[in-house]
Structure formats: structure tokens, C-alpha cells
Structure 1
Amino acid sequence: MEREIAPRMRITMPGAALLAAALAGLAFCMAGIWQLEGARAGVTITQLETGTTPLTVYRRDGAGPSPVVVIAHGFAGSRQLMEAYALTLAHAGYLVVSFDFEGHGRNPTPMSGDVTRIDGTTRKLMAEIGRVTDTALALPGADGRVALLGHSMASDIIVRQAMVDPRIAATVAISMFSEAATASTPRNLLIITGAWETSLRRDALRNLRLADPAAAEGDTVGDPAGSGGRRAVVAPGVEHVSVLYSSTALREARDWLDQVFSRSSSGPVAATGGAIVLLLAGVVVLAWPLANLLPKGDGPPAPIPLRALAIATLVPALVTPVVLRLVETRFLPVLVADYLAVHLFVYGVLSLALLRLQGVRFGRLAWFATLALAAYGIFGLGGALDRYVASFMPIAARVPIIAAIAVGAVPCMLADSIANQGGRAALWRTLWIRTAFLASLGGAVALDFKRLFFLLIIIPVIVLFFIVFGLIGGCVGRRTGSPTATGVGLGLILAWSLGVSFPMFLPG
């Protein structure tokens, strides 16, 4: 009897685990979508344009004339990233208009000017907010009053714009860094900072104390309903990105605007961060049972000897930033993406060459698995990101950028996948491989900080890519036994992710 049961268990247990993963993944996805779509219930969402700037208008069904709130995203962001604030304020009865800055999201006009000068790029982005404000105030249902809300890069833009545009009654600056504010301007300034944003918290307190040297975090200085006020608050347990989904931050923004406009709002706070995590987790979990529908490949490739792994990772990590310090890499109309494309290419080719010289076999390329992985990452997970998190579907102007980055991203991720055996390597090996690559980017920034500063902002995107898309790629690699399929597929996804994230930019 025991001899009969054991083989049967070996056959059925994997199937049961796959079924459980499929059901769990579907449940996570459905629960996340249900919550995210529920947050939109009762709000009419309309897509418009002013010039080349794409707008999204949020208005509660049945709302009467109300103040307008113009919402601006941060560097490398888009309208979708600010939707929790847009929905919270729309449910509170405000007419909300969010938009994609020049060079970001689906805005086809590149950023321009000198990013290091106030009278350069900053002035151009201020002018864009002015045009959006004009359009927003002309919408049906706008009562003539307007406020600005912005995150990170946009915090400086909206502070400066509010100081020169007398129509702006209130400013909500999230993760603010700006040296423009004075003791009395901009009028009715609320500064929201995440508890883990240590330096920005200090700067927020400094700006608060311009109005009252004795003020502390959480204090309100002045009278926002009267002559004008200022407040600095901290959202607990969040950092630079998760502050966009903090219920505390969302509630503070709504309550501040209510005080300024003498309103008493009701409605839900759209803290959608948990639902987004649930949806993305569901898409990742589903990757395992779906990968098992692919043709099963050969057994796992042999582990790479430690000496070979060390040479293939450490040498490119040291050599690439040093060599590229001497190379002109400005050839794409995007900020530092051209450098990153070349860095990926040199790093990847060096690593592949060193692996091959040490006798590591690359194996066959399973084209169907490659295309399946790329399609699932770009259109499956990417589709969810585009609707609920940030712009992921490119406009036509970004397609050549994605193609150029792919020339570097594919060999780099191919080397990564071969080194970690298509997702079968021990965790410490995978961490070693990817830490070496990130260290090479850090070294590049250290060698040319002024030129490559914006790479520091993109590094968290790459870390997130390794975590989320790396898990999906590992499922495909373990099923097919083809590190090359995983590497090429992940390279295409990485090129797409970077190509839609980097701001388009033309100097002058």
C-alpha cells in the first residue's frame, strides 16, 4: 500500500500546489481590482488635452460648482501616480485636474531648458502649470477658486508658481524640496513629508519656522481660512513613494483645502496602496502556474564555479564605469537613459565574454518562452501598472528609445540570467550578481555626479524590476531550463520599463 501511495502523492502534490497558486493569484488580482475600481465608483473620469499636455479630470457625480485642484507629479512620474489624491479630493467634492508634465507619461513634448537653472526648465514647467490652470478654471463646474498640489520635483514648481499667480489660494507640497518659500508666501502652504524622509522633514520644519520660529511638526501657523496659514505634517511609516498612498497624508491634504475654502467635505480616503500591492502580487503569483503551461525543458544548468562568477561580475562592475567616464554617451532625447543603455551594453557584453571564456555554456534559446515572458511582463503586469500606478504604455515618440535601450538591456539581462542559472541559483548568488550591477551604476554616479545625478532616481526602479519581474522570469527559467529565454525576455521588459520611465529631454 505504501509503495502505491507514494508515487501517487508525487504526481498530485505539484498539481495541487499549482492549482492553489492559480486560485490564490486570481483571488489577489480580483480583490485588488475590486478595491481599485471601487475607489473610482461615483467619480466621472474624463481625458482631455490642453495643447500637447494630456489631462485627466476627476469629478464626483452630481457635484455642484466647486474649487479646482490641479495635481502635478514628480520626476519620472505621471498622472496615474497621483490618483489616490485625485480620487480623495474628487470624492470630497473638488474638481480635480491632473496632468503629465512635458517629457513625462503620454506628453509628446520633451522637457527642455537648463535643468540646473531656475530660469531654465523650471520656468518652462511653471508655464505649463499656468496653462493647465487656465484650462481647469474654464471647465464646467469650476467656481473660480483654485489650489495646487504636487509631489517631489513638482513641489518646487507649484511653490514658485503659487508665488507669482494670484489666483492660487492654497498649495499642498508633498515631499517638498524648495528654497523659494518665504515667511508669508506662498499663501496657505501645507507641507506633507513621509516619516522616513529624514532630510525632507528637516527642510519642511525649516520652511514652517520661516513663518514662526517656535513652530513644531504638526503645528498650524496663521489662519488658512483668513489671512493665510502654514502647516507641516509627517505621514507615519512611509517614504518618498508610499507617501502618495498614506491615509494620513491624503486626509491632511483634503482637510487643509477644506479649511482654506471654508468647506466641510465627506467621502472616502482613497488609500489605494494596499490594493495595488495585492493586484501586483496576484500577477506575480499567477506567473508560476502559467509558466508551467510552457514546454518543459532540460534539467537545470550546472552551477557556475565561484571563481568564474566572481570574475564575470566584479570585473564588469569595476571596468564599465571607469571606461564610460571617458566616453560621450549623449545620443538619445532622454535624461541619462542614453548613458544607461551604453552602461548596460558594456556591462553585459563584458560579463558574457568572461563567462564564455571560462567555459560556461549558454544553452539554447526557447523563442516561445522568450516571447511569452516578454508579453506577460509588458502587457500583463505592465497593463496593471499603466492603469493603476504609472504610465507604462508608450507613445510613438518613445518606441525608438525603447529599441535603443534594448540593445544594452538584452545582453545585460542575458548575462544576469546565465549567471544565476535562469532563476535556479541560490539566493545569495542572485543577490551578489545584482548587487554588483547596482554597484557599477553607483560607481558611475560617483565618478561623474553632475552628469549622472538622475541615475540615483532610477536605481530604485531597477531594484523594483529585479524583485517583481525577476520573480516572474525565474518561474519561466525553472520551467524551461533556458537561461537565455529568461535573459532575453527580461531584457526586453527592462528596456520597455526604462523607456517609458525616463523623461524625454532636449536641451535648449
Structure 2
Amino acid sequence: MNISRIISIVLVLLFIVAVARLARLENGAPPHVFVMLPGQEPATMYLPGPGDPFYTLFPKAVSQRPPAVVLIHGFTGDRVLMSGLARRLAENGYAVLAIDLNGHGENRNPFNGGTAESDSLRANVKTAVDYLRDNQLVDGSRIVVMGHSMGAGAALDYATHDASVTGAVMISGGWALGPERPKDALFIFAERDPKEPIQDPSTALAAHLAGVQQIELGKTYGDFAQGNAVEAIRMPGLNHITIVNSPAAATTIIKWLDSTFGTARTTPIELKDARRGSARFALLMFVFRLCRLASSADPWRRVGPKNVPGRADGWGY
């Protein structure tokens, strides 16, 4: 067996090991389960804490249950793309219900809206909020709606039609206010987000809620104790996609949730996602294997015996 074949076998084995580890990590902590919400709306629910918090003999007292977040993806996305953020929120003490909107991911219901038609998604968000309110594993009286891009528009729309939700986090999106003032609203967007459709509306909405002509980015207006806190913050070095899985953005969001829910954090914010390292390693092994396959393929190799009749060079057809 030559060295080239040995290297190829080793690369394949490393790729298999990396994929197996990624699968194990995907099914590992934080604890999470698939949930089919009413109306055939697929979701994944994440819970904080050690062990398996989904199985308890007796319901915990409401004061011991974690507050919850409804997490909403953007246009053409799904709940899997939001899993990194969902895991970080759960690792830091918050229950998360990540949903697939109509026409996205595993949701087979027709999508009837557009990127700016948030009201068409209100029923999806309401289904998730109602599920959490009736769930004995979370504190259904403390719920924040959070979304990215189109999902941010859906979160803001819902928060302005349901005054009972505790707060709203709009990640790179949010375009219009409804009849109710949203409680504790955070507008967080990327430095490289488009200015007119995202950055300008986010700062304008935040300024309106703060009651100022022009908002100062990174400054909190209002009072969390009264539920009228508002802030707009621009995350440097990020774009519309990378902000979703950014540790810096997650840190900002978790701190906002801590203030919104009145969480007294006694440990540092946890931001590790072991899946990312395994995914990068698996991709690297896959690319190496492809490169080796490409280098071993000789387009000018002889495909027939030498001295083929009619050919002076001896190359086959």
C-alpha cells in the first residue's frame, strides 16, 4: 500500500470521526427536543440546566422555572440556522422555543407573506407564545419574542399586538410599530447591514420609543423595572448573516435578557459551541479529500494500450 492511499484512508477516517462527533454534539447539551405545535408548526425547544429537564416527576414552582424566548428565523431560513444562538441562550439560563415559520424549514404550511409583511406571521408567533404560556417547564408569564431579519419584523409586530409579553429583541430588522408599545425593546444590527432597509429604521424606531429626536447608539433609555427600556446598538465587523452566530452579539442579547427578566447572574456568560469546531474540522477533512481526489485524476492518462493502430502517438481515443 503506497503512501498516497494511506493518506487518503486517514483523511476519510478523520472525516468520519468528525461527523460522528458533530452528530453526538448536535444531540447533546443543552437539552432539546422536537415539538410539533398546533397547526403543524415545527419547533425545537431548548431548556437550561443539567440532566434532562424535560422529564420531571412533579412540576417545579413557577419561581423556579426559567423565563422563555420565542426565536424566529429570517426569510428563507429555518430554526436550524438559529440553533447556535438558541443553544447560547439556553446555556445561560433561558428556555428557547425556535420555530419554523410557514413555508420554511419543515413547516409545510403555505407562506403568505413577504420580507416586510410581518402581520402574516403573527399567527406563527402567537402559536409559540401560547404554547410556552401553557408549558409547565417554563415561566409562561415571562416571555420575550426575538427574531432575525424578517423574524425581527415578526417579533416587533407581535410585541406591539400583545402587551403581555415581557420584551422584544430585533436582530437586523423590525420595520413598523403596532397599536401597543413594545416592552423592553432591543434593536441590534450589524455594522455591514444595509443602511436604508435595516439600520435607519432600527434607529428611527428606537428613537421614537425613547422619545428623542436622535438616539445615541449603545445607550439604554427608559427603565427595565417599568418595562419601557429601549436601546439600539450597532455590532462592529459583522454583516447580516454573521450577526446571528456572533459571540459578541449573543453577549449583548443575553445581558439585555438579564436586565429584562431581572436575572442576577452569578457566573460568566457561556458562549462556547463545540459543534462549530467539529463542523469546521469535518469541512477541512472533506476539502482535503476532494483535493487529493482531484490531484490523482490525470485527464491525459493513457486509456488504452500503446501503439494503437492509426495513432502514431500511441494514445487511445
TM-score, normalised to structure 2, is 0.76
2:126 aligned with 1:138, yes or no?
no
Shift of 1:181: 6.8
Contact 1:192 1:233 in 2 (8 A): yes
- Rounded to whole Å, the distance in 1 between the matches of 2:220 and 2:22 is 34
2:205 aligned with 1:207, yes or no?
yes
Judging by fraction of residues, say which structure has more helix.
1
Q: Which runs of 5+ in 1 are unaligned?
A: 1-10, 301-508
AA at the equivalent of 1:110? P
Q: Could you tell me which of 252, 274, 282 is aligned with 1:279?
A: 282
Deviates more, 1:196-205 or 1:42-51: 196-205
Aligned residue for 1:186? 182
Aligned residue for 1:249? 249
AA at the equivalent of 2:47? R
Shift of 1:141: 1.6
Equivalent positions of 1:45-60 (< 5 A) are 45-50=32-37, 51-60=39-48
Deviates more, 1:92-101 or 1:122-131: 122-131
AA at the equivalent of 1:154? G
Aligned residue for 2:220? 220
Pair 234,48 (structure 1): closer, same or farther in 2 beyond 3 Å: same
Shift of 1:42: 3.7
- Rounded to whole Å, the distance in 2 between the matches of 1:99 and 1:248 is 23
Equivalent positions of 1:93-132 (< 5 A) are 93-112=93-112, 115=114, 118=117, 122-132=118-128
- Rounded to whole Å, the distance in 1 between the matches of 2:235 and 2:13 is 32
- Rounded to whole Å, the distance in 1 between the matches of 2:8 and 2:170 is 42
Identity %: 25
- Rounded to whole Å, the distance in 1 between the matches of 2:169 and 2:270 is 19
Equivalent positions of 1:28-427 (< 5 A) are 41-50=28-37, 51-62=39-50, 64-112=64-112, 115=114, 118=117, 122-144=118-140, 145-180=142-177, 185-199=181-195, 200-210=198-208, 211=210, 212-265=212-265, 266=267, 267-270=269-272, 276-289=279-292, 298-299=299-300
Contact 1:42 1:61 in 2 (8 A): no
- Rounded to whole Å, the distance in 2 between the matches of 1:34 and 1:240 is 29
- Rounded to whole Å, the distance in 1 between the matches of 2:233 and 2:22 is 27
Shift of 1:115: 3.6
Contact 1:40 1:87 in 2 (8 A): no
Deviates more, 1:67-76 or 1:86-95: 86-95
Shift of 1:142: 1.4
- Rounded to whole Å, the distance in 2 between the matches of 1:36 and 1:223 is 43
Aligned-partner SS, 1:43: coil
Contact 1:26 1:282 in 2 (8 A): no
AA at the equivalent of 1:137? R
- Rounded to whole Å, the distance in 1 between the matches of 2:119 and 2:194 is 28
Contact 2:157 2:176 in 1 (8 A): no
Aligned-partner SS, 1:172: strand
Shift of 1:164: 0.6
- Rounded to whole Å, the distance in 2 between the matches of 1:264 and 1:286 is 49
Aligned-partner SS, 1:93: coil
Contact 2:154 2:174 in 1 (8 A): no
Deviates more, 1:99-108 or 1:276-285: 276-285
Deviates more, 1:249-258 or 1:191-200: 191-200
Contact 1:46 1:58 in 2 (8 A): yes
- Rounded to whole Å, the distance in 2 between the matches of 1:34 and 1:264 is 34
Shift of 1:132: 1.4
- Rounded to whole Å, the distance in 1 between the matches of 2:201 and 2:16 is 39
TM-score, normalised to structure 1, is 0.49
AA at the equivalent of 2:288? V
- Rounded to whole Å, the distance in 1 between the matches of 2:22 and 2:116 is 43
| Alignment root-mean-square deviation, CA | 3.2
Contact 1:29 1:283 in 2 (8 A): no
For residues 25-69 of structure 1, give each alpha carbon's deviation from its aligned partner in whole angstroms, at most 9, with x where no partner exists: 765775687578558754211111012111101012346411111
Shift of 1:213: 2.8
Pair 167,216 (structure 1): closer, same or farther in 2 beyond 3 Å: same
Aligned residue for 2:310? none
For residues 376-397 of structure 1, give each alpha carbon's deviation from its aligned partner in whole angstroms, at most 9, with x where no partner exists: xxxxxxxxxxxxxxxxxxxxxx
- Rounded to whole Å, the distance in 1 between the matches of 2:79 and 2:256 is 22
AA at the equivalent of 2:184? N
Contact 2:175 2:202 in 1 (8 A): no
Report how many aligned residue pairs link the two structures. 280
- Rounded to whole Å, the distance in 1 between the matches of 2:229 and 2:119 is 26
Contact 1:222 1:228 in 2 (8 A): yes
Aligned residue for 1:389? none
- Rounded to whole Å, the distance in 2 between the matches of 1:81 and 1:31 is 20
AA at the equivalent of 2:271? V
For residues 137-171 of structure 1, give each alpha carbon's deviation from its aligned partner in whole angstroms, at most 9, with x where no partner exists: 22222112111110011111110101111221111
Aligned-partner SS, 1:109: coil
- Rounded to whole Å, the distance in 2 between the matches of 1:214 and 1:139 is 41
Pair 116,203 (structure 1): closer, same or farther in 2 beyond 3 Å: closer
- Rounded to whole Å, the distance in 1 between the matches of 2:221 and 2:277 is 33
- Rounded to whole Å, the distance in 2 between the matches of 1:288 and 1:169 is 52
For residues 167-188 of structure 1, give each alpha carbon's deviation from its aligned partner in whole angstroms, at most 9, with x where no partner exists: 2111111111413379x83211
Aligned residue for 2:60? none
Contact 2:145 2:167 in 1 (8 A): yes
Q: Which runs of 5+ in 2 are unaligned?
A: 54-63, 302-317
- Rounded to whole Å, the distance in 2 between the matches of 1:168 and 1:67 is 11
Contact 1:48 1:56 in 2 (8 A): yes
